[in-house]
A and B are shown apart, each in its own frame.
Chain A
């Protein structure tokens, strides 16, 4: 019989394993959700297979209330688990200890909570051993029970090794889902067997219940509210539950399925408990209640179903021992070993971690197996109640971490230690040493499991009380306040806009190698892949994201303590003098992703944010918001249209990293400390474009606030202005042309006369004289023509030829052109300009400027008046003044002299473009022009003052795109 059952048991284990394997391989949303819920069920170990019967037998319908409260935490997961998952998505934790250490800071938190988890979880190991012993006692000879238990322990350790060295998540999922599948089928089959064989059918069972008093017993049993409370509280801190909650591999949608899937499975497992209980009442087997699932099928002569139950109990016990020992091993490693370990000396860190975890998990299984003989005599339910009341001590700290920012480290630790001390001394210690003697006089309630309900609640109350008192009356340092705020349920995690010392991915990798050795390369490569970045990335925001990603992955691998140490040593954040502002770029990207989670006022504010964002993006002018460090925080759509640089690339990067010619354009403007500048010319692929840039705020070099640049393209306006100026220049040429033609006519007549006389000249002396006269007249024509050509030269207006120009010659040329035209006949020119003055400028533009200024002076001057031209030069600037003795400038137009179409002349006398052209040409040459009326040192007339740079002026930023 026993051999048959053992054979069937292994058969069922293989069958369940194969079924789970198929489900895992299917990898579909429905199968993954089912697997996750099955794994959660297996995380309770043998509680549902054996303990539930005992709770129902002892406390009736309290079982249902306890199980509802046990799964309630999943029903209300949006209140507790989802806030945790939001934080974990950014910071990443491997264990609940990492979360508590992250929240409460300091190594002591990790060490104390780790010890609490180990001590609190120990009874869970004992419960599994107790279940296995019950099973083995029915299947193998008495002498082989203990060796068989050790063999199961050894097999579990071997499974742990295989799991840790291959795929941890997949292997554990496979084992746990197999165990749950077996449990579901065994409970259903056993219940069906009992109803069929003991009562006949379901109606007969209902009839039996109606006729017996058992249903009344179930109802009238006083509900144990302490069981209900402790089950609910412990379910939050249960290591496996917590570990699954924070698993990064589980998506939110998949985790959402646990809210109803897990309670549904638990409910399905609780339904068969009552028929089993009643069948036991009829059959009266001489075994404890917890053994019914296995013993009743044996009594009813059904070895197959008994084997099914045995297989489920065996796999459930192994899966809990395995998962719990691996989890505790990681906690111990993260809390005690890795924070002190010099990782750079370890050639293969991952292998070292795996090896240590195998050894620690083996040590945990061995230790609990060695301790188990000294704690026998308790039922599976007792062990669970003991473990749950111990683990429940960690729940206040976890809940406070996400809901109570005032709870500090001291309060948490003192509360936890106080609660654990009461739990350990009143419930755990008596399990080892029996009733404590000598304390009867001090305590009216005896220690031990008989008063579990009282002591477990007492311990929890003391924990909460101490935690509240010490948190209320002890201060929190700034670090704790900041991390407490960070962990709040309604907080969106946004890293500060801190600056990194490393300026490239290569530098980050090199720094990390100093602490992690060769594995740093893999870490960086994985992080880059996760963020979709490449090795050439240099944007500060992207490098900060990379640092956060590396920190998160190290948190997972090494725990919060070791990861924090590595990050502080290798990728320290540059010290800041003031509180760093939030990373606007990350806030934007996070709100863009998670905005739909916001509710109430936050949601409305987010809508407002989106609206403002759209306004900024759709502004007809370009907008750049910059941090003091030069990091681009905002790059609107118009900027993208101007520059063809996408906002995604520009935002988060430095202004110093922008492609040319934009980089030089913005940097040169920022260096000038002027509020605005216009006509900034850049050349892209030979195409000239002009821009106006204005900066916001004060001109004071304030390094604390963000800066805003407004950019507007002026190309169209400049082209139009150039067109006007060109027309004006051509009009000048036209006006002068008649005079020039007349002036050329005179020497030509003279040449003609000389040439006719030459025909009659016979002597060489006369011929030489005539030739000289012809040459002289020809030179005169040449000079006149050159002057006109200089003015009318149709240069490419975009190309300014900057060369040394003799100022006196240029002025004389302008005067000559005006005299040719006959406009200057009634005035005299007094040119007091040093013939040695040279300026680096554009000769053609200078002639145009002087022509227009002198023309205005001539028009304003009465007959025989004198126009005086003076000049002075320094190394930087050359100043030319043109003074006339005319009527001066009309007051009505004095303030608008340089505007186009503004003139004080009679209608038809002037276009009003002369001084406007002068103003624009002077600005193009980097100079300045002003008119004062009356003239300087005079009561009448006016003086035009022209200030030009002595050296060449360059405003164009040339860039040929490749």
Chain B
């Protein structure tokens, strides 16, 4: 029952994606809105995962 895909995605997010994304968002010449791009990408990924989810109800 444990959602292995989600756990794997979380581990990947915390170990690889998050440090790289933070570095990219905080770059000296980058725009002030870069952290929001990272956040938006996370939300979009979640939306894609939810979209593929099957629901028990009709």
Q: Chain A: residues with CB nearer than 8 A to chain B? A: 61, 64, 68, 75-76, 78-79, 83, 206, 209, 215-216, 218-219, 251-253, 256-257, 259-260, 263-264, 267, 270-271, 274, 489-490, 492, 593-594, 596-600, 602
Q: Do residues A78 and B6 form an inter-chain contact, with CB atoms below 8 A?
A: yes
Q: Do residues B53 and A256 form an inter-chain contact, with CB atoms below 8 A?
A: yes
Residues of B within 8 A of A215 (CB): 32
Query: Please, how many angstroms separate the alpha-carbon atoms of A144 and B10 in the complex?
Result: 52
Residues of B within 8 A of A598 (CB): 1
A-B contact pairs, 9 of them (CB 8 A): A75-B43, A78-B6, A253-B55, A259-B49, A263-B39, A267-B36, A490-B2, A596-B56, A599-B3
Q: Do residues A79 and B42 form an inter-chain contact, with CB atoms below 8 A?
A: no
The 8 Å CB contact of A263, one of B2, B6, B46, is B46
The 8 Å CB contact of A596, one of B2, B4, B31, B54, is B54
Q: Do residues B56 and A260 form an inter-chain contact, with CB atoms below 8 A?
A: no
7 further interface pairs, Cβ-Cβ under 8 Å (given A219-B28, A259-B47, A270-B36): A64-B36, A256-B53, A260-B50, A490-B1, A593-B56, A594-B56, A596-B54
A68-B39 CB under 8 A given contacts A253-B57, A259-B46, A274-B32: yes
Query: Please, how many angstroms separate the alpha-carbon atoms of A802 and B39 in the complex?
Result: 90
A489-B1 CB under 8 A given contacts A259-B46, A260-B50: yes
Q: Do residues A260 and B43 form an inter-chain contact, with CB atoms below 8 A?
A: yes
Return the 3 tightest CB-CB contacts between A and B, nearest first.
Answer: A490-B1, A260-B47, A78-B3
Residues of B within 8 A of A83 (CB): 1
Minimum CB distance partner of A64 in chain B: B35
Residues of A within 8 A of B46 (CB): 75, 259-260, 263
Query: Please, how many angstroms separate the alpha-carbon atoms of A78 and B57 in the complex?
Result: 16
Q: Chain B: residues with CB nearer than 8 A to chain A? A: 1-4, 6-7, 10, 25-26, 28, 31-33, 35-36, 39-40, 42-44, 46-47, 49-50, 53-57
Residues of A within 8 A of B53 (CB): 256
Q: Do residues A263 and B42 form an inter-chain contact, with CB atoms below 8 A?
A: yes
Q: Do residues A602 and B1 form an inter-chain contact, with CB atoms below 8 A?
A: yes
Residues of A within 8 A of B55 (CB): 251-253, 256
Residues of B within 8 A of A271 (CB): 33, 36
Query: Please, how many angstroms separate the alpha-carbon atoms of A545 and B15 in the complex?
Result: 47
Q: Do residues B32 and A252 form an inter-chain contact, with CB atoms below 8 A?
A: no
Residues of A within 8 A of B1 (CB): 83, 489-490, 492, 597-599, 602
A61-B2 CB under 8 A given contacts A75-B42, A206-B31, A264-B43: no
Residues of A within 8 A of B36 (CB): 64, 267, 270-271
Minimum Cβ distance to chain B for residue A826 (Å): 85
Q: Do residues A597 and B56 form an inter-chain contact, with CB atoms below 8 A?
A: yes
A209-B32 CB under 8 A given contacts A253-B55, A263-B42, A596-B56: yes
The 8 Å CB contact of B26, one of A79, A219, A263, A597, is A219
Q: Do residues A267 and B56 form an inter-chain contact, with CB atoms below 8 A?
A: no
Minimum CB distance partner of A214 in chain B: B32
Query: Please, how many angstroms separate the alpha-carbon atoms of A263 and B28 in the complex?
Result: 27
Residues of B within 8 A of A599 (CB): 1-4
Query: Please, how many angstroms separate the alpha-carbon atoms of A683 and B13 in the complex?
Result: 71
Residues of A within 8 A of B31 (CB): 206
Most buried by A among B2, B28, B49: B2
Query: Please, how many angstroms separate the alpha-carbon atoms of A76 and B42 in the complex?
Result: 11
Residues of B within 8 A of A218 (CB): 32
Secondary structure class of chain B's binding surface, majority of residues: helix
Q: Do residues B39 and A76 form an inter-chain contact, with CB atoms below 8 A?
A: no
Query: Please, how many angstroms separate the alpha-carbon atoms of A594 and B57 in the complex?
Result: 10
Q: Do residues A267 and B6 form an inter-chain contact, with CB atoms below 8 A?
A: no
Query: Please, how many angstroms separate the alpha-carbon atoms of A83 and B28 in the complex?
Result: 43
Query: Please, how many angstroms separate the alpha-carbon atoms of A79 and B3 in the complex?
Result: 7
Query: Please, how many angstroms separate the alpha-carbon atoms of A600 and B2 in the complex?
Result: 9
Residues of B within 8 A of A78 (CB): 3, 6
Q: Do residues A76 and B2 form an inter-chain contact, with CB atoms below 8 A?
A: no
Residues of A within 8 A of B35 (CB): 61, 64
Minimum CB distance partner of B27 in chain A: A219
Residues of B within 8 A of A489 (CB): 1-2
Q: Do residues A79 and B6 form an inter-chain contact, with CB atoms below 8 A?
A: yes
A252-B50 CB under 8 A given contacts A215-B32, A490-B1: no
Query: Please, how many angstroms separate the alpha-carbon atoms of A600 and B5 in the complex?
Result: 12
Residues of A within 8 A of B39 (CB): 64, 68, 263, 267
Q: Do residues A259 and B50 form an inter-chain contact, with CB atoms below 8 A?
A: yes
Minimum Cβ distance to chain B for residue A259 (Å): 5
Minimum Cβ distance to chain B for residue A223 (Å): 9
Residues of A within 8 A of B26 (CB): 61, 219
Query: Please, how many angstroms separate the alpha-carbon atoms of A594 and B55 in the complex?
Result: 9
Minimum Cβ distance to chain B for residue A443 (Å): 34
Residues of A within 8 A of B43 (CB): 75, 260, 263-264, 267
Query: Please, how many angstroms separate the alpha-carbon atoms of A607 and B36 in the complex?
Result: 44
Residues of A within 8 A of B6 (CB): 76, 78-79
Minimum Cβ distance to chain B for residue A575 (Å): 33
Minimum Cβ distance to chain B for residue A494 (Å): 14
Q: Do residues A68 and B56 form an inter-chain contact, with CB atoms below 8 A?
A: no
Minimum Cβ distance to chain A for residue B42 (Å): 7
Residues of B within 8 A of A490 (CB): 1-2
Minimum Cβ distance to chain A for residue B10 (Å): 6
The 8 Å CB contact of A76, one of B10, B25, B40, B57, is B10
Residues of A within 8 A of B28 (CB): 216, 219
Residues of B within 8 A of A600 (CB): 4
Residues of A within 8 A of B54 (CB): 596
Query: Please, how many angstroms separate the alpha-carbon atoms of A270 and B40 in the complex?
Result: 12
Residues of B within 8 A of A253 (CB): 55, 57
Query: Please, how many angstroms separate the alpha-carbon atoms of A180 and B15 in the complex?
Result: 35
Residues of A within 8 A of B3 (CB): 78-79, 599
Minimum Cβ distance to chain B for residue A275 (Å): 9
Minimum Cβ distance to chain A for residue B48 (Å): 9
Minimum Cβ distance to chain B for residue A766 (Å): 104
Minimum CB distance partner of B33 in chain A: A271
Minimum Cβ distance to chain B for residue A505 (Å): 27
Residues of B within 8 A of A209 (CB): 32
Minimum CB distance partner of A67 in chain B: B39
Residues of A within 8 A of B56 (CB): 252, 593-594, 596-597
Minimum CB distance partner of A600 in chain B: B4
Minimum Cβ distance to chain B for residue A590 (Å): 11
Minimum Cβ distance to chain A for residue B36 (Å): 6
Most buried by A among B1, B36, B46, B49: B1
Minimum Cβ distance to chain A for residue B24 (Å): 12
Query: Please, how many angstroms separate the alpha-carbon atoms of A49 and B50 in the complex?
Result: 29
Query: Please, how many angstroms separate the alpha-carbon atoms of A851 and B40 in the complex?
Result: 98
Query: Please, how many angstroms separate the alpha-carbon atoms of A257 and B43 in the complex?
Result: 11
